[in-house]
Structure 1
Amino acid sequence: MPKSKEPPTSLLIFGKQSRYLREKRDLTRRELSALIPYSESFIAMVERGERPPKPGYVDAVDAVLGADGLLCVLAPDVSEKHHPAWAEEYVHLQAQALALHVYSTHFLHGQLQTKECAQAVFRSVRPSMTEEEIEQSVQARLATQKLLTRTPACRMTFVLEESTLLRKIGGRDVWEGELRNLLKISQLHNVQLQIMPLSRETHAGVDGPMTLLETPDHHTVGYVSGQQGSYFLTEPDDISVLSHRYGTLRAQALDAEASRAFIQRLLTGES
C-alpha cells in the first residue's frame, strides 16, 4: 500500500488548532492528560498530526479547552482524511454510494471486518506496518462501516469465497467473532451476503476481486485492487463486463439463506 510520509493536511490543521487552544489556556500536555482519559504521548502525536483523534478524544478536548464545538466540527474531516492517498477517492465515493457490490477472494471486505479482524489483516501486511500505522488504518476502516446502517440505506451485496471464511486470520477467537459478525450483518435488510463454495466446478471470478459502486447520480463505477495499488473502471464496455461477471458470480454462489446456514455450521463446528 503506497503511503505518504507527510501527515494529511487535515490532521496537521486539527493538531495545530488543538495545540493553540491548549497553550492559550496555559496547559501542558501532561496537565491536559490529567483532565481527559488519554495519555500525554497520544496528545503529542495528535498535535503533531501523526495520529487521527478518536471521537471520544475530540469531544473531551473540545470541552476541556472550551473550544465551543470548533474541534468537533473538524472531526468528520480528520476521521476520513487519514486513509492512504490512493484510497481517498474511493472512500469518498463509497460513503455516498447508492449501492455497493463486492466480490472478495483473499480476505473479508473492510465493511465486514470486526476491529480484531482488521487489526490482524493489517498486521499481515508486508513490509510490516508500525503499531501506529495499524491503529490509524483500523480506525479508518471501522469509520467506513457507517455505510452498513446509513440512512438512506445503501443496497449492498457481497460474494465471499469460502476460503475467506476458512482462513483464521488473528486466531480462533478473532475468527469466531468474525463469523458471528457476519451472521449479524447478514440480517440487515439492505445487505445480501453469499458464499462461493470451493466445490464449484465452474467459476466466473477467475480474474480476481472487484467492486461495483453506484454513485448518487446513478453511474456505476468499477474498482479493482491489486498488489501495488488500485484503479477505477468507468468505461461503459468495462462496466458491462464486470456487471455480467458479478451477476454470474451471484448465480453460482450459495443463496443468502444457505450462506447463513454455512456460516452457522462453521461456527458450531458442524462442517
Structure 2
Amino acid sequence: MHSSDQPESTAEMFGLLLRHFRVLAGLSQDQLGKRIGYSKSQVAMVERGARPPTDVFVQRADEVLRAHGALIVAAPKPPKQTERRNPLPGWFTPFADEEEKAWARHSHENQVMPGLLQTEAYARAVFASHYPTYDDDEIEAKVAARLERQKLLSRRPLPDISFVLEVIVLTRPIGGRRVMKAQLHHLAEVARLRHVRIQLMDPDREDHAALDGPFVLLETDKRQQLAYIEGQGGSFFVTEQPELGNLFGQYGVTRAQAYTPERTLEKIEKMAEEL
C-alpha cells in the first residue's frame, strides 16, 4: 500500500477488501492461508496489493470468508491481450523490478539452466518446448526479456550473485548438442567473473538441504530480503519470517554441501570439452 490513504490500484482495493473480510471472520493471515492452500506470505502480499491474486485464490477466499461473491467481483481483471503481449507474467514483474536493483541474488536450480545464465539459443529452446505452445512472436519477446534481465550480471555497482546447480542442469542437452556445448562454454565464462559464484551439487550425495526444489533469494538495494519459489503448481513470493530466514539458512547449508566454485569450474570446462 502506498503512503496515501487511498488505494491506487484495483489490486490494492482488493487487498483492503480481503483484509476486511478476513478480520470480520476472526482469522489471521496464516489461518486464512492454511484454509485456502496458500502461505501467510502470499496472503500478506495480496492484502498489500503487491501481488494480484489468482482465480483460485479469489474463489477459495470468497468461500472461506463467506464474502458471497464480493471478492470475486472486486478481483483485479487485467486485459487478456495485454497479458499475452507482456513477455513477463504480471505476478513476476514486481520480482523482476527488485532483481534489477538487487544488492545480492542467490538461487538453487534442479532442472533447467537459470535464466540469468542462459545463452540466447538455449533460452529459445526452453521457450519453444513450453506447453501450451508459444507462437514465434511470443518466443522472441520472451527471449528478449530474458536477455535483458541478464544485464544484472554487468550492472554497476556489481551485485553479489551465486548459484547452486544440480548436475542434470548441465547434462540435459536442451536445444541439442551444439546449443548445449555453447551453453557450457558460456557458463564457464560467467563462472570466472569475480562477483559470481557457481557451484555444482555433488551428484553422489545421498541428500542435501535443497531437495524441495528451486528457489531464488534476493537482498534488495534497501537491504530487505525476498524469496521466490517456483513449482509446477504455481510460483510464489516469501516475505515473512520465519519462512524467509529458513530459506536463507537452507541456502547457506546447500552451498556448504556443494562443490567449491573452483572445482565446479573445472567440471564445467571438462564437460564442455567432452560434449
Deviation string 1:92-133 (CA, Å, 9 cap, x unpaired) is 010010000000011011000000000011111111111111
Structure-2 change in CA distance of 1:200 and 1:108 (3 Å): same
Q: Does 2:130 align with 1:125?
A: yes
Correspondent of 1:204 among 203, 206, 209: 209
Q: How far off its partner does 1:82 sit?
A: 3.7
Q: Which amino acid aligns with 1:7?
A: T
Deviation string 1:153-185 (CA, Å, 9 cap, x unpaired) is 110000010000000000001000000000100
Q: How do 1:122-201 and structure 2 match up within 5 A?
A: 122-201=127-206
Correspondent of 2:92 among 64, 87, 102: 87
Q: Is the Cα–Cα contact under 8 Å of residues 112 and 182 in structure 1 kept in the other structure?
A: yes
Q: How far off its partner does 1:4 sit?
A: 6.4
Correspondent of 1:248 among 224, 237, 253: 253
Q: Does 2:177 align with 1:102?
A: no
Taking the aligned partners of 2:205 and 2:132, their CA distance within structure 1 comes to: 34
Q: Could you tell me the TM-score, scaled by structure 2's length?
A: 0.69
Q: How far off its partner does 1:225 sit?
A: 1.2
Equivalent residue of 1:86, what SS?
A: coil
Q: How far off its partner does 1:229 sit?
A: 3.0
Cross-structure match for 1:7: 82
Q: How far off its partner does 1:236 sit?
A: 2.1
Size of the alignment, in residue pairs?
A: 199
Structure-2 change in CA distance of 1:266 and 1:4 (3 Å): farther
Cross-structure match for 1:77: none
Deviation string 1:56-96 (CA, Å, 9 cap, x unpaired) is xxxxxxxxxxxxxxxxxxxxxxxxx6422121111101001
Equivalent residue of 1:243, what SS?
A: helix
Q: Is the Cα–Cα contact under 8 Å of residues 4 and 85 in structure 1 kept in the other structure?
A: no
Structure-2 change in CA distance of 1:98 and 1:4 (3 Å): farther
Question: Cα RMSD (Å) of the superposition?
Answer: 1.9
Taking the aligned partners of 1:240 and 1:88, their CA distance within structure 2 comes to: 23
Equivalent residue of 2:93, what SS?
A: helix
Equivalent residue of 2:80, what SS?
A: coil
Q: Which amino acid aligns with 2:80?
A: K
Equivalent residue of 1:157, what SS?
A: strand
Cross-structure match for 1:39: none
Q: Could you tell me the TM-score, scaled by structure 1's length?
A: 0.70
Q: Which amino acid aligns with 1:89?
A: P
Cross-structure match for 1:218: 223
- What 5-or-longer segments of structure 1 have no aligned partner? 9-48, 51-80
Q: Provide the identity percentage.
A: 37
Equivalent residue of 1:226, what SS?
A: coil
Deviates more, 1:168-177 or 1:200-209: 200-209
Taking the aligned partners of 1:212 and 1:248, their CA distance within structure 2 comes to: 14
Q: How far off its partner does 1:233 sit?
A: 0.5
Q: Is the Cα–Cα contact under 8 Å of residues 100 and 212 in structure 1 kept in the other structure?
A: yes
